[in-house]
Structure 1
Amino acid sequence: MGDTRRRGVVALGVTALVAPLTLAFTAAPAQAASCTTQTGPYQKQVEKFLGRPVDGKQSAADCRAIQAFQNKHGITPAIGYAGSVTWGVMDLMNKQKAVGNNPNKDGKCPVNKGRIACVNLSLQLSWIQDGNKLVYGPVPVRTGRKGYATRTGLKKIYWRDINHVSTVYNVPMPYSQFFDGGQAFHSVNLSMWNPPGSHGCVNMTTKDAKAYWSLLRTGDDVFVYGRKPGT
């Protein structure tokens, strides 16, 4: 429903999604003690992602680098093992970065609705467009885990509450913009790649949730499509 008359188009370009991680390889004693010596099934892929020497063999430095990544994004157990969950997060980051400034390349988010917030569950990305013009994003988001899927389809923002607190989970949901039952855009103090996901809401960083709050209004359209990996 994007009413462009009540707010100007904000040309913000593409938000940087991910960048190569610069990791310190000096771990705390407790971390070093918990590091695994096992070579994981995705060792080479993980080594390449982290900028480590790609030899497919676990080393102490490899383990500390993997463990630092796991700790940053809440991947458990954080023992430095190059397993499927860790590589899955890295692979998703690579795919998100490859989208660049054309998140609606597949044409699946409607361009005939004016201002609309799009959510691609498959890539865990969201953006705001006005017609076919990109207004904000794409930005990484954290959507519903298995059993709590973020529902797909065309929605509308029907209620906004900047200081909302969940009555179900008793947790703060700042900058909440509800578009389907109890599902809303809102900020969280977690990594956007923290598995397994939300209880159905579209989690965002505080920066992105604030931008969505300023750009969207009650009655604006939201389109959710795709399927979150692992659900």
Structure 2
Amino acid sequence: MAVGAVVAVALVGGCKAQAVDADGKASPPLRASPTETKGAKETKPDGSDAPSGTAGARQTPQRPAPKTVLAPGQRGDQVRELQARLRQIAWFFENPSGTYGTSTSTAVKGFQAKRGLPRTGTTDTVTWQRLLGMTREPTRFELYSGGGIPPSKPDKRCLTGRVLCISKASRTLTWMVDGKAVSTMDVRFGSQYTPTRDGAFTVYWKSRHHVSTLFHTAMPYAMFFSGGQAVHFSSDFAARGYNGASHGCVNVRDEKKIASLFAQVENGDKVVVYKD
């Protein structure tokens, strides 16, 4: 064999083969070229592989996607609160209904776009927190600006006999017979300058087609209980809602309900007007 010739010798025991020269000296191990090591992986301390050159590099954690709080089609008290809060900052112009419809979705989209948020129309956690930071907790009257507040707990004076039980807190009139609610309707009261009197009274006069001699306005289905103050239908209340007030009377805006009530109430029935 010529001097310098390289002879490949296989080592026993499963070891890797090495190149040796004629003198039996081992040649230095071959090194991989740069092109061969491109894309090679390094092993992390935990034993997993990582791309070469990334060992010890810090990874920026990704924020989780916002979660949905409320979405179109939902109903409930939180939807009503969403609408009331949007109304406080002039993004929602209807009375809160508790139903997440098209107008609510449109208002949410506008609110989101104004603040650089994804314009989805769905209320996610980011949108909700931003809205909470810009508004205050809605009052009960704001939540039910269109009416429909659940009736207050009846005054104890309403629990016996036939009573027109009228709560200023919930703005409701509940017709009660022997402690049971027969019907409930939204009502409106006098302003601070012409307040509706609180207390216990009795119906002393009913006038189906009454017209006020003082203000020259129609007072259909009037049931008088204290001086010139009466429970009666109000077309103004039906048209404008709580944007107006009476001159002391208890206004009802649902004509069908008060027509039915008028047919049932008799002179001598109790009327209780209370604040709680």
In which range does the TM-score fall when normalised by the shorter chain?
0.5 to 0.7
Q: How many correspondences in the alignment?
A: 161
User: Take 1:162 and 1:48, find their aligned partners in 2: how far apart are those partners?
Assistant: 31
Provide the residue aligned with 1:91 in structure 2: 143
**CA offset digits 1:17-64 (Å, max 9, x no partner):** xxx9xxxxxxxxxxxxxxxxxx974346768936413257399xxxxx
Q: Indicate yes or no: 2:111 matched with 1:57.
A: yes
Q: Quick one: structure 1 residues 202 and 48, their matched pair in 2 at CA, closer, same or farther if it must change by over 3 Å?
A: closer
Structure 2: which 5+ runs fail to align? 1-78, 80-85, 114-135
Per mean C-alpha deviation after superposition, the further-off stretch among 178-187 and 88-97 is 88-97
Which residue of structure 1 lines up, in the alignment, with residue 274 of structure 2?
225
CA RMSD of aligned residues (A): 3.6
Taking every aligned residue pair, what percent have the same amino acid on both sides? 28
Aligned residue runs from structure 1 range 121-136, under 5 A: 121-136=168-183
**Distance across 2 between alignment mates of 1:186 and 1:226:** 20
Residues 155, 165 of structure 2: 8 Å contact kept:
no
CA distance in 2, matches of 1:58, 1:188: 40
Residue 198 in 1 paired to residue 198 in 2?
Answer: no
Higher RCO (C-alpha under 8 Å, 6+ residues apart): 1
Deviation at residue 223 of structure 1 after TM alignment:
0.3
Q: In structure 2, the residue corresponding to 1:211 is in which secondary structure?
A: helix
1:188 corresponds to 2:188? no
Q: How does 1:1-231 map to 2 (within 5 A)?
A: 41-43=88-90, 49=96, 51=100, 52-53=104-105, 54=108, 57=111, 90-93=142-145, 96-97=148-149, 99=150, 103=151, 106-136=153-183, 138-192=184-238, 193-204=241-252, 205-226=254-275
CA deviation after TM superposition for structure 1 residue 208, in Å: 2.0
Alpha-carbon offset, residue 187 of structure 1: 0.9
Scaled by the length of structure 1, the TM-score of the pair is 0.58
Stretches of structure 1 that go unaligned for 5 or more consecutive residues are 1-19, 21-38, 60-83
Q: What's the CA shift for 1:107?
A: 3.8
d(CA) in 1 for partners of 2:234, 2:147: 23
Aligned mates of 2:233, 2:95 — CA distance in 1: 31
Q: Secondary structure at the match of 2:111?
A: coil
| Contact 2:194-2:247 within 8 A present in 1 as well | yes
- Name the TM-score, length of structure 2 as normaliser: 0.50
SS in 1 for 2:188: coil
Local SS of the residue matching 2:247: coil
**Mapped contact 2:199–2:272 kept (Cα < 8 A):** yes
Check conservation: 2:146, 2:242, Cα contact below 8 A: no
Deviation at 1:120, TM superposition (A): 0.7
- Could you tell me which amino acid in structure 2 is paired with residue 223 of structure 1? V
How big is the shift at 1:171?
Answer: 0.8
| Residues 44, 131 of structure 1: alpha-carbon distance in 2 compared, 3 angstrom cutoff | farther
1:169 Cα shift? 0.3
